[in-house]
Amino acid sequence: MTNKQYKTGEKASESGKYKVDKLVNGNTSGDNTEIDMNEGDSFPPSPSENEAAYWVKV
């Protein structure tokens, strides 16, 4: 089962911990930071690269 990806700026459909899967520009991310999101929060840019990213629930 693949986790649903959320793009920077989208809103979380459920609360939980999320991490960067990859960057929107196609580059892989070395960012292993996990963030806590509440339902309805908007996903931020990648914390280390400050680039738009795809996030997945962990």
Confidence of residue 2 (pLDDT cuts 50, 70, 90): low
Contacts of 35 (CB under 8 A, 6+ apart): 17, 18, 19, 44, 47
- 9-58 pLDDT, tens digit per residue, is 999 999 999 999 999 998 888 888 899 999 999 999 999 889 999 999 99
Tracing tokens 């986790």 back to the chain, one arrives at 3
